[in-house]
Amino acid sequence: MKLSRRSALMGMTALAIAAPAASALAAPSSSLIDGYWNASGSADNVDHSAWGSFLSSYVRPGSDGVNLVAYGSVSDADKQVLKGYIAMLESSDPTSLTRDAQMAYWINLYNAKTVDLVIDAYPVSSIKKIKGGLFNTGPWDEKVMNVAGRPLSLNDVEHGILRPVWNNDPRIHYAVNCASIGCPNLGTQPFTSANLASLLDQSARDFINHPRGADVSSGRLVISSIFEWYQSDFGGNDAGVIAHMKQYATGSLAAGLANVSSVYDDRYDWNLNAI
């Protein structure tokens, strides 16, 4: 399911067709859901080793630059370890953590819970087929977590905590993973306070320099729909998106971006990132 901006957010299944860029469709806005989550502390001792072990065991980097997940190969024991890790995070209070440790906490929780949802539903062709009611819009609005006694959805974490608390840092979009081919890679190691900045920057470089992120051909720039859906986090217009990409672009992409001033089209592939 490779979708253009005109269909992706409405759940249509047509393949993306190159056409002149149009205005962005609505996407979840960045708005703090509860002032409670804006607090921070001094602790820096979250144990993400269980998540690290899972990632190293089941995330398989491909020669094409796309990381796939062996959802169907996860052992029963490792499924329970994953659920235990999520439960551990849910039972803790992230507001006691430093800002960097908090951001790593939320990214890891989001990604681990997404993988957990896919494993529970597997085999499935797309995360959009999980929950979401009649129209299979995906699990993002379901209250699938309970952190420090507060029920939260994946959208709550991304758009109600991560984006507003960290001032809509565009690198958030490269870190949270929606279990789709079109999404930035799920990495092979967890985020921590120590590696946060380097992993965020590396995730941005990896995605932008992959054809899923941006591609310039015959003078036309085609981008991931992520840049369209959340354009406000990437400068607010085509020029802002291109300027953001130039910070991370290398090689032929950097050369191509130097000669374009607008976005021709966008695309996204909702097929599951499964082996």
Residue 218 in domain = yes
Confidence of residue 16 (pLDDT cuts 50, 70, 90): very low
Here the tokens at position 85 are 């890790």
Identify the pLDDT of residue 5.
39
Residue 216 in domain = yes
Q: Are 37 and 96 in contact (CB under 8 A)?
A: no
Residue 78 has pLDDT above 80, yes or no: yes
What residues pair up with 146 in beta bridges, in sequence order?
151
Interval 101-105 mean pLDDT? 98
Looking at the 3D structure of the chain, how many domains does it have? 1
Terminal C-alpha separation, the chain: 16
Confidence of residue 265 (pLDDT cuts 50, 70, 90): very high
Which comes out higher in pLDDT, residue 17 or 211?
211
Residue 136 in domain = yes
Identify the pLDDT of residue 57.
98
Residue 36 in domain = no
Residue 31 in domain = no
Residue 108 has pLDDT above 50, yes or no: yes
Q: How many CB atoms lie within 10 A of CB 270?
A: 23
Tell whether omega for the bond before 123 is within 30 degrees of 0, i.e. cis: yes
Residue 28 has pLDDT above 60, yes or no: yes
Residue 29 in domain = no
Range in 90-104, 131-145, 200-214 with the lowest mean pLDDT? 131-145
Residue-wise pLDDT for 156-192, tens only, equals 999 999 999 999 999 999 999 999 999 999 999 999 9
What is the distance between the alpha carbons of residues 60 and 50, in angstroms, rounded to a whole number? 17
Domain extent at residue 192: 2-14+43-269
What is the distance between the alpha carbons of residues 116 and 164, in angstroms, rounded to a whole number? 25
Residue 117: φ, ψ to 5°: -65, -40
13 CA to centre of own chain? 21
Residue-wise pLDDT for 117-128, tens only, equals 999 999 999 999
Residue 178 in domain = yes
Identify the pLDDT of residue 192.
98
What is the distance between the alpha carbons of residues 177 and 168, in angstroms, rounded to a whole number? 16
Residue 23 in domain = no
E strand spans, 22-80:
59-61, 67-69
